[in-house]
Amino acid sequence: MTRTLAERMCVICRGRRNKSGLIRFVFAEGTLPLEDARQILPGRGYYVCAQGACKEKWLRKAARFSRRAGKRG
């Protein structure tokens, strides 16, 4: 029996990768995103490639994502 790996998509480049190759961010209420290294925090998770370009772009756009996440309820 083969085991499948969890796959997620980067919100910046839209590339699909194994979960272990991505960084997960979650939004605490009313704050900028928090890096969820253990991938256990509650809430909507956003996955970003661990490579520098995607992570840098994410950090620049984090405020916009924070506003969107705040409107969800």
**Looking at the domain assignment, is residue 25 inside a domain?**
yes
pLDDT tens track for 20-73: 899 999 887 767 788 999 999 988 889 999 888 999 899 888 877 666 555 554
Q: 7 forms bridges with which residues in the sheet?
A: 18
Q: How far is CA 55 from the centre of its chain?
A: 10
Whole-number Å distance between alpha carbons of 1 and 31: 43
Range of the domain at 23: 7-71
Token pair, residue 17, equals 């990768």
Q: pTM of the full predicted structure?
A: 0.75
**Looking at the domain assignment, is residue 2 inside a domain?**
no
Domain count, the chain: 1
pLDDT tens track for 63-73: 776 665 555 54
**Looking at the domain assignment, is residue 59 inside a domain?**
yes
Tell me which residue has tokens 């085991």: 3
**Looking at the domain assignment, is residue 45 inside a domain?**
yes
